[in-house]
């Protein structure tokens, strides 16, 4: 059999220590206490801007007077510039040596926390580490606390950023990007708006259906993917997708789906989604869902199931985003999509460029 993709994942990713229980956020104080050796030791709290002015929704956070709180603006996807600027601010404030970095929020916020942790111990800028295994030194101890379920950022070995200079969306894909501690508290997803809850949750489903349809397979990733998709179906075919039991199921699906993709590769959806994010500024999870509307040719069974779930939950999804773009924008969409060689090879084989010609890529974007 012809080898279609290089095996990059050398070892099974170690699962970080995690707490999975409603109310487990209360354990954060005890975790940080183990790191605060002196009275001057400080932590960095990176919190989704959704909670700015509403920290009461998170309960009582163990913030000390010397700690540093930054609210991550998640209206747009994080960029390499965002990480570099944040690092520079810490240097200016003499806060570049924290005992812990805590990311509280959705996938974007957790990705910012992971990227900043790496950049505080590795020289250079964020864009220098976009790729596979370029981060050589372990980052600052980091804690991931998702408040939205689906992206799998809490469990993955990457943090994804857009480089604004080349409009390419890539991650720091490294063993050093994995969180050192996770707190998985389903209570934190109670206030997520229904549309966002669906978009994010479907990221888990899409990760795993791409894995199961790809050529690079492993029994571990397959079994994790099967269970993840089972949980997603239970949630999104239910009458109340945000019930306490379904929020718990979806948080577990996000975690398992993140572990699955960390030990395998995605497929056609994520490269097209990355194009929508990099060129048109569409958030990752929504971009995945928009992309799915044009994926019947590649994933017919899952396409039908996705349409059924979105109809069942009466979820709003933008249409026609790629109509009436100029030729430069279509060219940018093509380049931002086709650059993702590993997932496209996993899905379509080494001749994926002959399948995804510029005309074909434009046609698919016009279906979204």
Q: How do residues 205-262 score in pLDDT, each as one tens digit?
A: 999 999 999 999 889 999 999 999 999 999 999 999 999 999 999 999 999 999 999 8
Task: Specify whether 235 is located in the same domain as 355.
Answer: yes
Task: Specify whether 245 is located in the same domain as 127.
Answer: no
In a domain, 10, yes or no: no
- Among 315, 306, 148, 286, smallest CA distance to 233 is for 306
Instruction: Spell out a b/e string for 317-354, using b for 16 or more CB atoms within 10 Å of the CB, else e.
Output: eeeebbeebeeeebebbbbbbbbbebbbbbbbeeebee
From 1-15, 89-103, 112-126, 173-187, the region with the lowest mean pLDDT: 1-15
Instruction: Spell out a b/e string for 123-155, using b for 16 or more CB atoms within 10 Å of the CB, else e.
Output: eeebbebbebeebeebbbbbbbbbbbbbbbbbb
Task: Specify whether 324 is located in the same domain as 180.
Answer: no
The confidence score (pLDDT) of residue 306 equals: 98
The torsion angles phi and psi of 48, rounded to 5 degrees, stand at -55, 135
Helices 284-292/300-312 angle, 10° precision? 120
In a domain, 67, yes or no: yes
DSSP state of 23: T
Structural domain ending residue among the three candidates 174, 189, 204 = 189
Banded model confidence at residue 10, pLDDT cuts 50, 70, 90 = very low
* 56-73 tens-digit pLDDT: 889 889 999 999 999 999
- Among 203, 205, 78, 221, smallest CA distance to 151 is for 203
CB 164 within 8 A of CB 80: yes
Structural domain ending residue among the three candidates 189, 212, 243 = 189
The confidence score (pLDDT) of residue 252 equals: 98
From 31-35, 101-105, 168-172, 192-196, the region with the lowest mean pLDDT: 168-172
Alpha helices (H) in 65-193, listed in sequence order: 80-92, 107-119
| CATH number for the domain harbouring residue 177 | 3.40.50.1970
Q: Which residues contact 218 (CB under 8 A, 6 or more apart)?
A: 263, 264
CB 236 within 8 A of CB 309: yes
Task: Specify whether 182 is located in the same domain as 309.
Answer: no
Task: Specify whether 51 is located in the same domain as 185.
Answer: yes
| CATH number for the domain harbouring residue 277 | 1.20.1090.10
Task: Specify whether 62 is located in the same domain as 151.
Answer: yes
Banded model confidence at residue 8, pLDDT cuts 50, 70, 90 = very low
Q: Which residues contact 339 (CB under 8 A, 6 or more apart)?
A: 168, 170, 271
* 86-119 tens-digit pLDDT: 999 999 999 999 999 999 999 999 999 999 999 9
Task: Specify whether 219 is located in the same domain as 173.
Answer: no
Task: Specify whether 206 is located in the same domain as 319.
Answer: yes
pLDDT at 328 over 80: yes
In a domain, 8, yes or no: no
Higher local confidence (pLDDT), 198 or 170: 198
The confidence score (pLDDT) of residue 12 equals: 56
Task: Specify whether 53 is located in the same domain as 67.
Answer: yes
In a domain, 348, yes or no: yes
Task: Specify whether 175 is located in the same domain as 201.
Answer: no
CA distance 260 to 199: 19
In a domain, 185, yes or no: yes
Q: Does this model's pTM top 0.85?
A: yes
What average pLDDT does the structure give for the chain?
Answer: 94
236-285-186 Cα angle (round to 5): 55
CA distance 52 to 61: 13
The confidence score (pLDDT) of residue 4 equals: 44
Q: Which two tokens stand for residue 49?
A: 């801007």
* 71-87 tens-digit pLDDT: 999 998 999 999 999 99
Containing structural domain, residue 110? 18-189
Structural domain ending residue among the three candidates 189, 215, 249 = 189
Q: Which two tokens stand for residue 103?
A: 């990311």
129-266-260 Cα angle (round to 5): 90
* 272-305 tens-digit pLDDT: 999 999 999 999 999 999 999 999 999 999 999 9
Q: Which two tokens stand for residue 349?
A: 């084989």
Task: Specify whether 227 is located in the same domain as 252.
Answer: yes
In a domain, 287, yes or no: yes
In a domain, 310, yes or no: yes
In a domain, 3, yes or no: no
CA distance 134 to 138: 11
The confidence score (pLDDT) of residue 7 equals: 47
Number of domains the chain is built from: 2
pLDDT > 70: percent of the chain: 96
Task: Specify whether 153 is located in the same domain as 185.
Answer: yes
């Amino acid at each position: 059999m012809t080898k279609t993709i290089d095996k990059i994942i050398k070892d099974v990713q170690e699962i970080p220590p995690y707490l999975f229980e409603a109310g487990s956020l209360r354990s954060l104080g005890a975790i940080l206490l183990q790191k605060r050796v002196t009275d001057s030791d400080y932590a960095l709290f990176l919190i989704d801007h959704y909670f700015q002015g509403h920290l009461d929704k998170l309960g009582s956070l163990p913030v000390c007077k010397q700690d540093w709180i930054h609210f991550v603006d998640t209206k747009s996807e994080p960029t390499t510039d965002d990480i570099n600027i944040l690092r520079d601010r810490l240097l200016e404030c003499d806060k570049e040596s924290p005992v812990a970095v805590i990311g509280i929020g959705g996938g974007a916020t957790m990705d910012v926390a992971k990227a900043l942790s790496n950049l505080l111990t590795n020289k250079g800028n964020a864009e220098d580490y976009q790729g596979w295994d370029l981060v050589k030194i372990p980052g600052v101890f980091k804690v991931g606390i998702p408040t939205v379920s689906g992206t799998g950022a809490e469990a993955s070995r990457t943090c994804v950023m857009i480089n604004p200079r080349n409009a390419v969306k890539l991650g720091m894909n490294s063993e050093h990007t994995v969180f050192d501690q996770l707190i998985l508290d389903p209570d934190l997803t109670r206030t997520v708006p229904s549309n966002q809850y669906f978009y994010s949750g479907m990221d888990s489903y899409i990760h795993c259906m791409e894995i199961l349809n790809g050529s690079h397979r492993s029994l571990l990733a397959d079994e994790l993917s099967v269970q993840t998709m089972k949980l997603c179906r239970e949630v999104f075919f239910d009458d109340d997708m945000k019930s306490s039991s379904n929020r718990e199921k979806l948080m577990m699906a996000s975690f398992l789906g993140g572990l699955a993709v960390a030990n395998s590769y995605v497929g056609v959806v994520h490269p097209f989604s990355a194009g929508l994010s990099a060129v048109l500024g569409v958030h990752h999870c929504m971009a995945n869902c928009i992309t799915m509307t044009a994926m019947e040719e590649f994933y017919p069974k899952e396409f039908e199931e996705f349409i059924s779930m979105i109809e069942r939950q009466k979820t709003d999804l933008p249409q026609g985003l790629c109509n009436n773009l100029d030729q430069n924008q279509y060219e940018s969409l093509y380049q931002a999509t086709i650059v993702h060689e590993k997932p496209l090879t996993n899905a379509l084989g080494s001749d994926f460029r002959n399948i995804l010609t510029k005309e074909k890529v434009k046609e698919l974007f016009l279906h979204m």
